[in-house]
Amino acid sequence: MIQATMADMRKSIDFFQTDQVINIINGRKKQEVGYFVPSVFKADFLKFVTKLEKQKRLDNARRAAKAQQLDAIGDATVGDGIE
């Protein structure tokens, strides 16, 4: 993995022809901005991101289902018909 600042990436086209992931750093604040993933890793990276997004949606659905189970039906509310 290569570390580079935004200024370095603007100055050189070599960064976009690399086969390594680039860790982008804000040069002034010395904070991490993000990553540049070259096209060599595109297929694997897209699979990874898709898997993360699917897991995130499943976790949110599970959390909503659990919260719905814990929500008791009171006297003034109407149930959904599932007993």
- Which pLDDT belongs to residue 67? 82
The conformation of residue 25, written as its DSSP 8-state character, comes to E
pTM of structure: 0.58
* Cα 3 to Cα 7, 11, 21, 27, 39, distances in angstroms: 12, 14, 9, 11, 18
- Which pLDDT belongs to residue 17? 80
- Which pLDDT belongs to residue 43? 92
- Which pLDDT belongs to residue 39? 87
- Which pLDDT belongs to residue 36? 87
Low-confidence residues of the chain, pLDDT below 50? none
Question: What pLDDT, in 10s, does the model give residues 33-44?
Answer: 898 888 889 999
